[in-house]
A and B are shown apart, each in its own frame.
Chain A
Amino acid sequence: MALKVAMIGWEYPPYKVGGLGTHCYWLTRNLADMGVSIDFYMPKTDGIRSDKKNLVFRGIGEEVFPYETVKLTGDFFEKVNRYNELCAKIHGNYDLIHCHDWLTARAGIMLKKKLGIPMILTVHSTEYDRSGWLNPNQWFIDIEKEGMENADIIIAVSHYTCRVLMEKYGIPKEKIRVIHNAITSIGERGRKLKIVLFMGRLTIQKGAEFFIRVAKKVLEIEDCFFVVAGTGNILPELVDLAVSLGISNRIMFTGELTDEELHHIYRISQVYVLPSVSEPFGITVLEALSAGTPVIVSKSAGVSEILESCLRVDFWDVDEMANKIVALLRYKQLRKEIVKHGKEEIKFFTWMRNARKTLDVYKEVV
């Protein structure tokens, strides 16, 4: 008999703020193709069309509508709370509940108790990641911990995250399954320029400050451009830093970009750097490779544990990061080899594989 899943979502294209929406999009579509019947819950569903009979979108609590802002204000938390409460009222004949991160963990817990069915929680990131391990907020940690303790099985996006769950949240290893993220290939197009790219939210977690510092070091001996794509709360500090280091004419801050613009910047860059202080996975690294761009990856990123075709660095080691950036800019054969092998490696990171492994987890609990 086909499995019936209530998936508690938060965002889904076109209502999308970060990677979670993309993840849910591909996961649900592939699961549906494998015969799983999914009711996908989210605050608002206008404009979402489903071309699959067994994938149904259910809007719940339109009043919340959280997509206008990404700012983490009191208002935002109020909306999350309200949404979780509304979700707890869900009725239906489901085999299991699947929720994502702290955002929908509480709805999962309440539903599990009410309906008496198993709960799966996918952890895309933890409060430790988001805070860059500096002053993590106990309020989030408590919700995350409660969610993890109540979940029957937790899906972590990397072994790195798995370790955090064990060490910081005290979750036994037996309860965690690691399923690495997948990507959709961007593809190469056009000519590459001498650009070194950073892409991500401008927060402590993503290590953008180290990117600015490494730019200074590289520019001492190599002529090139640095691009910081994305926005976030430390943007003003980063701009100040670039100015005070005297390299503001060599660093471009793009602000928020559309998908199309993102793909373009991936394609024209010669080097991609992920200097994250703490990164559960780091999907941008695989995207960059798919666009023909070689990558330098922080050792504190989940992706570095499975990807061979990359250069690894400690995020704080600006000297070594600079060495590797210059080497990539100067040595064409190095770029070619990394991209060649990288493209082979990323073939394994398909959504089909991700969905199949998720289905295995479903079967474990039902």
Chain B
Amino acid sequence: MPSVCFYFEVHQPMRLKRFSVFSIGSETTPDDIYFDNELNRNIFYRISKKCYLPTNKMLRELINKYKGRFKVSYSLTGTFVEMCEKYNLQVLDSFVKLRETNCVGFLNETYYHSLSSLYDNLNEFETQIKMHRNMMKEKFDYTPTVFRNTEAIYDNRTAKRMEEMGYKGIITEGTERILSWRSPNYLYNPVNSDIKILLRNYPLSDDIGFRFSAKGWPEHPLTADKFAAWVSQSPGDIINIFIDYETFGEHQWSDTGIFDFLRHLPGELLKYSNIDFVTPDEAVKRYNPVGKIDVPFAVSWADTDRNVSTWLGNGMQVNCFNELKSLEEPLIKKGDSHLLHVWRLLQSSDHLYYVSTKGMADGDVHKYFNPFKSPYEGFINYMNIIQDLKQRVDKGRKK
């Protein structure tokens, strides 16, 4: 009988202000000139109203209704939780209330939703995971046993390190690139360690995340009973439905019927006697791996390429990534905790996402999310800020 594992990614980056080359070297504190407080607040309010608050409320009602039979899980980034505290405590409260139902699981990830797993050494990566672990303990009294890297970026090295850090499971994309003919509906091991891998079932996940309101899709409109039937007919141990939380009410607006779909989905799924719900923590306890997976190169769940080209696909992105990465050593040495935090906020993968020059279908998705008019403008802004930060780091060193 397949278990269904619902997991939602909840993340917001600290969006950047317009920062001209002429601002480089100013004396103002970085918080005020790097980050666009007003924009961040407005976006956070909007999404709270359209997505976080109504969806949390509905899920809590559903969890109560099905008395322990319906479960969901989340990964909340550190920047998201900071924004809750800064802009809307009500949102944080509603997540804590969900936690208290004991039918909600949580994952660990990097605090800043960063690409630090791709750095030359994994020190920064580990630091950010520990920060996230502490935050989860402090705010939610929860200690996850499963790790999900930024945008499900995954390779052998990361898997091995996660096992060393004590994790029982790790999540990535169920792409044919690593599975070949095999099914994503089972657990696997990496070739180099014993940690268990949970794989996202991308056809079923994208049916909700991307295709739900696509009128040209033959299955439109997607109803809860239709989706439940597909799930019940899927062979395997576990169906992992991993999507952006903002799918509910933000990417798919309320008038697409997404909330009606969500309201009826648990009931429709539970009509099938062979289906139950699990959290990732429960899944790695209950199921055993059926094979090994070898991933020497990084994969992810982003775009149609399912690799890291979304963030490192062109020279401008690599340029920014390298510049930012090179600040690690001098910043750690300097020990300025404020600058360190700023540097880490700049590591959120979103900033590189805005510099992507991908065309075709992916390009449209990128445009939807991009606050800049073009990747070139995104690059100029981000690079100017990195150059300013670099000067601040250097300043202390000379003294």
Contacts and interface: CB of A to CB of B under 8 A. Distances in A.
Contacts of B373: 312
A189 interface: no
Given A308-B374, A312-B373, A341-B357, A334 B22 contact: no
A326 interface: yes
Contacts of A337: 314-316, 357, 375-376, 379
Interface string A301-339: 000000010011000000110111011001101101110
A331 B383 CA distance: 9
A221 interface: yes
Contacts of A331: 316, 319, 379-380, 383
Contacts of A333: 314-316, 318-319, 379
A312 to B, nearest CB: 7
Contacts of B376: 311, 334, 337-338
Interface string A321-365: 011101100110110111001000000000000000000000000
A334 B320 CA distance: 11
Interface residues of A, number: 20
Interface string A204-244: 00000000000001000100000000000000000000000
Interface size class on chain B is 10 to 19
A204 B48 CA distance: 50
Residue from A221, A308, A333 having most chain B Cβ neighbours under 10 A? A333
A70 B374 CA distance: 40
Nearest to A341: B357
A337 B375 CA distance: 10
Query: Chain A binding site: helix, strand, loop or mixed by DSSP?
Result: helix
Nearest to B379: A334
A180 to B, nearest CB: 20
A327 B315 contact: no
Contact of B22 (A308, A311, A319, A338): A319
A336 B357 contact: no
A319 B357 contact: no
B20 A334 contact: no
B336 interface: no
B165 interface: no
Contacts of B316: 331, 333-334, 337
B377 interface: yes
Nearest to B374: A308
A324 B380 contact: yes
Given A221-B22, A341-B357, A323 B314 contact: no
A334 B22 CA distance: 18
Interface in A24-55: none
B114 interface: no
A366 to B, nearest CB: 38
A326 B316 CA distance: 16
23 contacts: A217-B22, A221-B22, A312-B373, A320-B20, A323-B20, A323-B21, A323-B380, A324-B380, A326-B21, A326-B22, A327-B380, A327-B383, A327-B384, A331-B316, A331-B380, A333-B316, A333-B379, A334-B316, A334-B380, A336-B315, A337-B315, A338-B376, A341-B357
Given A221-B21, A323-B22, A327-B383, 20 more contacts: A308-B374, A311-B376, A311-B380, A312-B373, A322-B22, A323-B380, A323-B384, A326-B22, A327-B21, A331-B319, A333-B315, A333-B318, A333-B319, A334-B316, A334-B376, A334-B380, A337-B314, A337-B357, A337-B376, A338-B376
Interface of A: 217, 221, 308, 311-312, 319-320, 322-324, 326-327, 330-331, 333-334, 336-338, 341
Interface of B: 20-22, 314-316, 318-319, 357, 373-377, 379-380, 383-384
